Structure 1
Amino acid sequence: MAGMALLPWATGLKAQDLSYFRIATGTTGGTYFPIGGLIANAISNPPGSRPCDKGGSCGVPGLIAVAQATIGSVENIDLLRSGNVEAGMAQADIAYWAYTGTGTYAGKPPFDELRTIGTLYAEAVHIAVRADGGIQTVPDLKNKVVSVGEEGSGTLVDVRLVLEAYGLSEEDLQPRYLKPGTAADRLARGEVDAFSIVGGAPVSAVSDAAGRLPVRLLPIDGPVAERLRQTQRFFGETVIPADTYPGVPAVTTLSVGAELLVRAEASEERIYAVTRALWHENTRRLLADGHPKGRSIDRARAVAAIAVPLHPGAERYYREVGLIGDAAKEAGAESKPQ
């Protein structure tokens, strides 16, 4: 830092004005990491940046945000709980269970300090198989070599729910606990019969596999999916359109919201500024241009069916822009954990 006095920003923000904002994301083969990187870039505004109105950064002055690669939702919740990151991306169901001490967190202390900035987009449950194989449905996975997701990932949690709904468990498979990129590579080499990932389509690991060999995605639909949606309130129905992945036909599956989470103790002013930067028009363009899933990140859906309470800084922003108000808050009360 010896050359700091020579830098053009030395007369403006000082070194002590800098702050770092670590965002726990996911694996490089999923969607969290690239989306998290785009968000980190958008909300950052380090000293020396050109002003927003002159084509420069429209982020938070003095903030340097960094996307941190992780295993995924469960690890991100743990990192938030321990205070080792300032924010984290996670599936809505995982966030709700952590907040309430239920579901996969049954028997653990509720993480009642967990708060949300809002919902970013819907994540789809992907189960990819070779198109030339005999696996047509989820029950066909019995006795097969299947990557069910890494320990610490939201994928593993949701795949277990899907298997149970179809009358299967990990013991009925030859399970592997692989990173998405590794799983895709092994599918292409014929070393696994299927791999799973929950992510916003298109997921790079599935795109990679589909670019190397013909693949298809297993449907999760019909009465089984309907029962799952009834018992797991954050599951929804979604269709992954044809050719989202090269040569892969449309498939109906389950989806769950991806939320950007923080701790309740985070400064209201800081989270207000981060939320405002997240939904700035320049950020919208950056997301849309930077990743196909970025086009579906819409402020209008940010507070719909959130899994945990809004951080006061985020709530302040949404009130200012008219997305929530007294009536809206009352109408949405039932969707919030009690």
Structure 2
Amino acid sequence: MQRRDMVLAATVAALWGFNFVVIDWGMVGVPPLLFVAIRFSVVALAAFVVPRPRTSWRTVVGVGLFMSLGQFGLLYTSMALGLQPGLAALVLQAQAVFTILTAAAVLRERPTVPQIIGVGLGIVGLAIVAAGRGGDAPALAVALALAAAFSWGIGNVISRRAGAVSGAGRLGSLSLTVWSAIVVPVPALALSFAVEGSDAIIAGIAAFGWHSALSTLYTAVLCTIVGYSIWNGLLARNPSAAVVPWVLLAPVVAMASAALLLGQIPAPAEIVGGVLLVGGVLVTGLRFRRREATPPAPVTEALAVVPAPAASAATATPRRS
């Protein structure tokens, strides 16, 4: 990765890390699946001014289902069940492992030794942070967060494959982010009726105040449109194994934000784990910067397998959030 791409990846990780606190703050009184439907309805409005991406509808639907609906529907529900923002950010970073494994199987992208070391350091850091937080998190909430990470990983690979085949640039990444959001609102609202019930939806709409509106704007504009557009662009220009470890910085930002705004002071183990996370990202990123003499070879159509979901979309992911 070039230095510019490394800075962009770190910026996206910061946006997504703070996103967890914003979601927790704005979702009070609003059912999680309804909140997801509202978020992506706002994102989808940009389709009136953003051209359709130069890729197949199967890719657009895939990114929308996995990177947006799957990831955030499961994540929001896990947080509504009691998973704290910092721990939610931590568990979601299992997407890095899921993405690299899926990319190796589908796109035949083989991670190098330095990449494996960097991801390994990040995983160790995640484990230390998890141990430091204790075992009071609801098991179902943690399981749903892991499922969200898996959905995000699949979305990352779909986005990477689409960018490598079509050569999508910055505008193509924005188009994919916005147009994949169109896939989300109706299924999310249908799931909300089926899972949460009409009474909860009516009560949620009544509870949707200024704090929920600000949270929606942050998640929709900064995390989805801006964040996932950058993320999808990074995936289109770089191998998945070089990009996804940068999201390991998001839990550090989430925990720092939770400490400052929610009074959730990190334990010593969380600080040590956060240092390992940053170290793992630096090991992976610096190695790719030195190797950037020639760009990665594009993935051919013959190697592409299109399942379906970013970030937030499409979002280039590996959002947020």
User: If each structure's helix is expressed as a fraction of its own residues, which one has the higher value?
Assistant: 2
**Could you state the TM-score of these two structures normalised by the residue count of structure 2?**
0.24
Larger Rg: 1
User: If each structure's strand is expressed as a fraction of its own residues, which one has the higher value?
Assistant: 1
